[in-house]
A and B are shown apart, each in its own frame.
Chain A
Amino acid sequence: METLLEQAFNGLSVGSILLLVAIGLTFTFGQMNVINMAHGELIMIGAYTPYVLQHDFGLAAGLSILLGLFIAFIVAGGVGVAMERGLLSRMVDRPLDTLLVTFGVSLILQQAARDIFGAPNVDVVAPSWLKGSVTLLGVIMPYTRLFIMALVAVIVGGLSVFMARHAEGRRMRAVTQNRDLAAVSGLSPRRVDATTFFLGSGLAGVAGVAVSLIGSIGSQVGSGYIIDAFLVVIVGGLGRMKGTIIAAFALGMLNAYAEFWKNASIGKAIVFMAVIVFLQFRPNGLVSFRTRGLTS
């Protein structure tokens, strides 16, 4: 029983990290149809943010993490907007071209990180209040994992409110559903695209700060998450936040139990097999929107 609970906690923990790295993609990939291969490097920018704050600015570990969340959001968001304005805005409705271009950007950003920070991985010092763990029903729950779960809960809650109730959230949904109609209604799709990309990229930066708490970071820290992030968004249903949340935790749980049953490699293979089988039956993902028309 204890083992079962332990794996459930591991599943939730893996799921929350998956959700964190994937949630930005629900905007850039799911809604804007941009296959952003540089999403991982935006995570990397976020991961290096607390490191820079600690290493170059001498900030205390706790402050560097909390302040890092905001700075990483702004910096990664800014890089994302620069990429969107400079490159991707010329490729509306050409998703395969966005894949190639962002792959190039990803390589450039990785090399830039190696030039600036060096090739070896570095560590972000976790604050003292994140060291240690709490034991509940025999399950050891590290504070870092609980912190990431809480962070995910706050982000998901905030985003849900923003998308449903804020005018800019409504504009983002309108533009992604029908660009031309939005344009002839007086909304500016180009400006809204920039906001959507800023948000999606900024969230990748926030995910990077969380990732820096669970291991060493290097120029390729983000690329390790990119496949998982795309997997979560596709299984969830493109652009559907509810689906992304369910998919992240479902894949996290499956991964945890499969890993426990066999080993990490077989666990990963089982997850991929499950996704392939799932998409045979629900190619549009977990949550899709049905209209009276035939096309959606």
Chain B
Amino acid sequence: MSDIIINDIHAAYGRTAVLFGISLEVREGELVCVMGRNGVGKTTLLNAITGLMGLTGGSISFDGKDISKASASARARMGIGYVPQGHAVFPQLTTRENLQVVNERLGKPDKEALNEVIDLFPALASLMNRPAGLLSGGQAKQLAIARALITRPKILILDEPTEGIQPSIIHQIEDTINDLHKATGMTMLLVEQYVEFALRLADRYAVMDGGRIVDTGDTATAEMDRFASLIAI
């Protein structure tokens, strides 16, 4: 069961509390999108789930195990794949090395997984020897998603995959996420401000404001007007 159950979590940067009792469940095979304005705690929530930041209260369980105290690398090895915001690549490693270093993390590299991610993002094939720091925003984003997928995660967490990306690549990323979700039933948690993109992909949504979840529901019955008032800057 690759469920993530977030139970009343609190988190803070030093003395500044950022998350106030967030509870959210992402069930196996589901794609849930978290939306909200800038600074409401969306990335902090993902950092708490992936282990980059500790909790000051509450608990997180994955696959039926409490992972609240596990390190970020231990959570990744349990099957939590994370694509952080922005240029999430190792800049001085080539595209190939970015994939290789993660693919061989447990010993023998998985050649099949490498071929699979290149099939998903064919543009990367001609960029294999280029340092990742020299890739464009769109290319780097594709590499970042490929790097997360190469580990065959049980759940894929994406933080604003459309940020600063040209429309054609957004479509490609949307198709890839959609295909993965539909074809393999991969569980996904998406943070996104591009509402139409998020609603097209997600099964369920949660809206955050001020470090709390203020609305949840099924995307099939979501009303755009309601989002406009909750997400508007």
Contacts and interface: CB of A to CB of B under 8 A. Distances in A.
Contacts of A174: 90, 93, 97, 101
B92 interface: yes
A99 interface: no
B91 A296 contact: yes
Contact of A292 (B73, B134, B148): B134
B90 A293 contact: no
Interface in B71-101: 71-73, 75-77, 80, 82, 84, 87-93, 97, 100-101
Given A167-B104, A185-B105, A186-B105, A173 B92 contact: yes
Interface stretch (A76-84, A176-184, A273-281): A176-184
A139 to B, nearest CB: 39
A244 to B, nearest CB: 15
Interface string A262-296: 00000000000000000000000000011111001
A292 B137 CA distance: 9
B50 A184 contact: yes
B52 A183 contact: yes
A183 B76 CA distance: 8
B178 to A, nearest CB: 23
A188 to B, nearest CB: 5
A291 B132 CA distance: 8
A126 B106 CA distance: 45
Nearest to A183: B72
A291 B92 CA distance: 9
Given A187-B105, A188-B73, A291-B134, A181 B51 contact: no
B93 A181 contact: no
B71 to A, nearest CB: 7
A202 interface: no
Nearest to B78: A186
B151 interface: yes
A182 B92 CA distance: 13
A94 to B, nearest CB: 15
A171 B101 contact: yes
Nearest to B52: A180
Given A170-B101, A181-B84, A186 B77 contact: yes
Contact of B102 (A180, A185, A189): A185
Interface string B28-65: 00000000000000000000001110000000000000
Among the interface residues A180, A181, A292, which one has the most CB atoms of the partner chain B within 10 A?
A: A181
B185 interface: no
Contacts of B76: 183-186
Given A292-B133, A292-B134, A293-B87, A186 B93 contact: no
Nearest to A291: B133
Contacts of A296: 91, 133
B90 A289 contact: no
A186 B79 CA distance: 9
B145 to A, nearest CB: 12
A170 to B, nearest CB: 4
A289 B92 CA distance: 7
B147 interface: yes
A262 to B, nearest CB: 40
A171 B102 CA distance: 8
Interface in B170-192: none
B88 A187 contact: no
A293 B135 CA distance: 10
B136 interface: yes
A272 to B, nearest CB: 30
A183 B51 contact: yes
B106 to A, nearest CB: 8
Interface of A: 167, 170-171, 173-174, 177-178, 180-189, 289-293, 296
26 contacts: A167-B100, A173-B90, A177-B91, A177-B92, A177-B93, A178-B90, A180-B84, A181-B84, A181-B89, A182-B73, A183-B73, A184-B80, A185-B148, A186-B105, A186-B106, A187-B101, A188-B71, A189-B73, A289-B91, A289-B133, A291-B134, A292-B133, A292-B134, A292-B136, A293-B87, A296-B91
